[in-house]
């Protein structure tokens, strides 16, 4: 008797479990759908904002703003190019280009530290 | 005798069986108050009912199986159309020129509206959407199950309709094309229709790439009509439209449109067009038409503003066509740089035709014929070249044929073969009369001289990419090599530089940047025939810098007045655009002062 009862209980549990799984599946589907809608909304908002940025950066609009603010930019009549030449560094700091310093463990040739190359000015 | 034993005894007694009765083996109640007939009747009824149920089951599960399964499918199955996103259009620096945004569209279900409700809803919607009240009432009275009221409206209007909370009026999102730069490049890009299909310009030409492919999702829905994502059966994903990357530079386009607009307004022109190109590969950097329109507000502009004049309008090129004549003659060796031509002091009678120059010139060398733009000198150069050769070079330079640019509506122009020339054609065609060309044809021809002798097919499309930036289509350069010899092209560049320095093109001089070009002032043809003496097409065509040209440009103004000379009205447009464009591209003018300065390096470096 008890065995039969337990058997029935098992069968019923299995069926209940199956039904619960299906219900959870459907509930999860609704949640996924909801999240997807939110994601699509965010994508659309991003597109709207990118459009707004493109509009705000449009040359016509910027020019009109400069004109309204009376910012009278002129084309340069004289163009100067100044080449900046870095000064020679001190001898103690000099490193010949292309060499690497040997780091700790000098006697272990396979241990070397990579150093950034410096070029002589 | 005991009762139990009596009952048992009687039970054991066999009852007389009714042979034909199906119930003969059923135990019969002993001493029952209910008559056997009633029991029999009840049994028949129950069996009959079960038979009916079985019959109905057979009908439902077998005979009507297909019909009912179909109904169930329609109720539970859901096919969702996945709309593809229309591709974007970018300039050469990947700045967005056209995009699609979701906007609300309003629909109604008149069939479900009551008689009184119709009038109330019509009044509300006419206020929100700006529609005619009586039109709405008429549409609601037709009892259709779905009608569009207004598509692609403003977000505020969509919100206002939603607030009505009327179950018979709905809002559905649809995509609409927007152009963030308003009228910039409008004639080039075109616009889309109500169903987001391209109707003009690039939107039309590349519609098949931009629109993408609709997808479908086969899934199930619940009793409330909601999709059950987990029960999706099949998915055919939508293919979003591809994106166009143009050769156009947004900033150079803006410069071109701004200066063209200013010139057309200043000189009261009927129309204008301008193109800037890279002469070394035929890439179009800008293409402007005037008047133009704002594709975001299409209905506010006349339809005539929509055409792309640079490819749809042809005109008699006038003096800028002399470049073709002189280049052809030089290339053939029919003339040399040092050759002299008698320009008959400005008047030359050829048969019934009298040729005039703007100023009376005497003897001019070949360079001076172009610098001073002598019609008579050019006709004499053409006479040495010959009609057949002249026609050959006209065709080689791309006139009389479409350039093949990736835009719809391009016209061929007018170039008749020598067999159809009249006796005076050789006195007209050499300086740009009796031929008609588009602006793109003229500039593409000039590029041959600018780049040293190669004809490049003009193109506006750089590449087509997908959402991930993978190139789908890359433009291949259309090249027709060796139109003219490099040394002839170099000579022509020098001559055209002198046109700007000494001749009619002085207004296009740019300080520190050597410029080459040619002015054109062509008489317009009267409707009654003959040439007008008061209506002209003014043009300037040129490139810079002369030694290694980076940009070339043509400017054309239709019927400017009071002044109509190409040098006066079109030359300044060229100067302003090219000067700014070259600086923008990083070109250093010749008057750049270069110095060196020593600075101490920081310890932190």
Complete DSSP assignment for B470-517: -EEEEPPP-EE--SS-HHHHHHHHHHHHHHHHHSTTGGG-BTTB--EE
Q: How far apart are CA B355 and CA B345, in angstroms?
A: 11
> What pLDDT shows up at residue A104?
57
Question: A116 pLDDT band (50/70/90 cuts)?
Answer: very low
Domain total for chain A? 1
In chain B, which stretches have pLDDT less than 70? 1-33, 593, 600-605
C-alpha–C-alpha distance, residues B103 and B174, integer Å: 6
Q: What is the DSSP letter of B59?
A: I
E-assigned strand segments in B321-412: 340-342, 347-350, 353-356, 363-365
User: Interior CA angle at B98 toward B93 and B100, to 5°?
Assistant: 130
Rounded CA gap, B124 and B106, in Å? 13
Q: Which residues contact B430 (CB under 8 A, 6 or more apart)?
A: B321, B322, B325, B378, B379, B381, B382, B390
Exposed, middle or buried: residue B429 (CB in 10 Å: 0-12, 13-18, 19+)?
A: buried
Residue B205 is predicted with a pLDDT of 95
Whether the per-residue pLDDT at A118 is higher than 80: the answer is no
For residue B262, the model assigns a pLDDT of 96
Q: Give me B291's structure tokens.
A: 């008047």
Please write down the long-range contacts of B355-361, taking CB distance under 8 Å and 24 or more positions apart. B355/B379, B355/B427
Residues 6+ apart with CB under 8 A from B279: B446, B447, B450, B451, B456, B543, B549, B551, B552
Q: Which position among B319, B374, B403, B425 bears the catalytic label?
A: B319
Query: Tokens for B103?
Result: 């906007």
**DSSP E strand boundaries for B258-383:** 271-278, 283-290, 314-315, 340-342, 347-350, 353-356, 363-365
What proportion of chain A, given as a percentage, has pLDDT over 70?
A: 70
Instruction: Give A78's contacts in chain B (Cβ within 8 Å).
Output: 591, 593
pLDDT digits (tens, 9 = 90+) for B567-585: 999 999 999 999 999 999 9
pLDDT of residue B364: 92
The CA-CA-CA angle for residues B78, B83, B86, to 5°, reads: 175
Per-residue model confidence (pLDDT) at position B459? 95
**Is the residue at A91 inside a domain?**
no
Among the partner residues A63, A85, A87, nearest to B596 by beta-carbon distance: A85
| Residue of B78, B598, B603, B604 to mutate when probing chain A, most A C-beta within 10 A | B598
**Catalytic (active site) residue B552:** no
Helix axes B571-584, B250-266, angle to 10 degrees: 160
B→A interface, C-beta within 8 Å: 95-96, 99-102, 178, 180-184, 222, 226-231, 250-251, 254, 258, 511-512, 579-580, 583, 588-589, 591-601
Q: Tell whether A68 is covered by a domain.
A: yes
Q: pTM of this prediction?
A: 0.79
Task: Name the DSSP letter for residue B307.
Answer: S
What pLDDT score was predicted for residue A105? 53
Best A60, A66, A95, A121 member to test B by mutation, with max B CBs in 10 Å, is A60
Beta carbons of A80 and B595 less than 8 Å apart: yes
pLDDT at B221 (0 to 100)? 83
- In this predicted structure, what is the pLDDT of residue A72? 79
pLDDT confidence of residue B602: 58
Domains, chain B = 80-246 (3.90.1310.10), 250-295+306-584 (3.40.710.10)
Pull the structure tokens for residue B36. Answer: 């056997």
For residue B420, give Cα distances in angstroms to A105, B260, B315, B416, B527: 93, 37, 20, 6, 22
Residue B469 structure tokens? 């930036």
Residue A102 lies in a domain: no
pLDDT value, residue A91: 56
A98 or B218: which leads in pLDDT:
B218
Residues A44-90: tens digit of each pLDDT? 899 999 999 999 999 989 988 988 998 877 777 667 777 788 876 55
Pairing of strands B551-558, B437-438: unpaired
Inter-chain touch B101–A63, beta carbons under 8 Å: no
Q: Which two tokens stand for residue B328?
A: 């052809």
Query: What pLDDT is stored for residue B24 in this prediction?
Result: 65
- Structural domain of A79: 12-85
- Report if residue A58 sits inside a domain: yes
């Amino acid at each position: 008797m008890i065995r039969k009862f337990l058997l029935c209980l098992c069968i019923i549990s299995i069926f209940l479990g199956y039904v619960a799984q299906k219900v959870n599946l459907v509930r999860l589907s609704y949640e996924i759908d909801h999240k997807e809608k939110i994601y699509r909304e965010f994508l659309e908002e991003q597109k709207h904002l990118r459009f707004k940025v493109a509009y705000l950066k449009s040359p016509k609009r910027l020019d009109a703003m400069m004109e309204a603010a009376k910012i009278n930019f002129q084309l340069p009549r004289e163009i100067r190019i100044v080449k900046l030449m870095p000064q020679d560094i001190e001898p103690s700091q000099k490193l010949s280009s292309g060499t690497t310093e040997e780091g700790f463990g000098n006697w272990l040739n396979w241990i070397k530290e990579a150093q950034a190359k410096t070029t002589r000015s | 005798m005991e009762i139990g034993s009596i009952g048992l005894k009687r039970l054991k007694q066999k009852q007389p069986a009714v042979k034909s009765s199906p119930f003969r083996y059923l135990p019969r109640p002993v001493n029952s108050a209910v008559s056997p007939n009633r029991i029999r009747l009840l049994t028949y009824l129950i069996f009959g009912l079960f038979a009916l149920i079985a019959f109905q089951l057979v009908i439902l599960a077998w005979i009507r199986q297909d019909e009912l399964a179909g109904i169930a499918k329609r109720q539970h199955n859901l096919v969702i159309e996945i709309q593809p996103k229309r591709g974007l259009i970018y300039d050469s620096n990947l700045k967005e020129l056209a995009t699609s945004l979701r906007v609300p569209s309003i629909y109604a279900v008149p069939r479900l509206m009551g008689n009184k409700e119709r009038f109330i809803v019509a009044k509300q919607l006419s206020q929100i959407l700006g529609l005619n009240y009586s039109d709405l009432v008429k549409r609601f009275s037709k009892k259709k199950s779905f009608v569009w009221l207004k598509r692609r409206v403003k977000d505020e209007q969509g919100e206002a309709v939603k607030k009505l909370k009327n179950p018979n009026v709905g809002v559905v999102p649809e995509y609409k094309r927007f152009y963030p730069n308003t009228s910039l490049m409008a004639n080039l890009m075109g616009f889309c229709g109500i169903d987001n299909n391209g109707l003009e310009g690039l939107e039309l030409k590349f519609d098949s790439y931009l629109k993408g492919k609709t997808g479908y999702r086969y899934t199930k829905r619940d009793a409330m009509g909601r999709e059950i994502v987990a029960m999706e059966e099949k998915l055919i994903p939508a293919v979003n439209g591809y994106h166009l990357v143009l050769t156009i530079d947004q900033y150079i386009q803006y410069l071109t449109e701004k200066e063209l607009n200013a010139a057309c307004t200043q000189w009261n022109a009927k129309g204008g067009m301008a193109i800037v190109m890279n002469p070394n590969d035929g890439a179009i950097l800008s293409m402007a038409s005037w008047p133009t329109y704002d594709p975001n507000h299409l209905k506010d502009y006349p339809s005539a503003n929509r055409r792309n004049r640079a490819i749809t309008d042809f005109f008699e090129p006038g003096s800028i066509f002399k470049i073709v004549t002189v280049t052809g003659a030089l290339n053939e060796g029919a003339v040399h740089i040092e050759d002299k031509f008698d320009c008959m002091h400005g008047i030359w009678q050829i048969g019934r035709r009298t040729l005039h120059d703007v100023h009376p010139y005497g003897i001019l060398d070949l360079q001076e014929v172009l610098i001073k733009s002598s019609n008579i000198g050019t006709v004499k150069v053409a006479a040495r070249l010959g009609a057949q050769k002249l026609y050959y070079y006209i065709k080689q330079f791309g006139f009389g044929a479409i350039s093949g640019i990736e835009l719809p509506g391009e016209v061929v122009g007018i170039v008749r073969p020598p067999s159809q020339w009249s006796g005076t054609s050789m006195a007209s065609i050499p300086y740009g009369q009796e031929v008609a060309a588009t602006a793109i044809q003229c500039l593409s021809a000039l590029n041959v001289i600018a780049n040293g002798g190669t004809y490049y097919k003009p193109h506006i499309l750089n590449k087509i990419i997908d959402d991930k930036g993978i190139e789908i289509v890359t433009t291949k350069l259309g090249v027709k090599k060796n139109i003219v010899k490099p040394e002839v092209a170099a000579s022509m560049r020098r001559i055209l530089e002198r046109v700007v320095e000494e001749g009619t093109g002085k207004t296009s001089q740019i300080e520190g940047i050597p410029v080459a070009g040619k002015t054109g002032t062509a008489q317009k043809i009267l409707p009654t025939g003959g040439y007008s003496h008061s209506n002209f097409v003014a043009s300037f065509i040129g490139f810079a810098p002369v030694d290694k040209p980076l940009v070339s440009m043509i400017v054309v103004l239709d019927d400017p007045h009071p002044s109509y000379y190409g040098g006066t009205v079109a030359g300044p447009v060229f100067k302003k655009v090219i000067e700014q464009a070259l600086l923008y591209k990083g070109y250093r003018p010749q008057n750049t002062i270069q110095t060196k300065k020593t600075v101490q390096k920081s310890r932190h470096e």
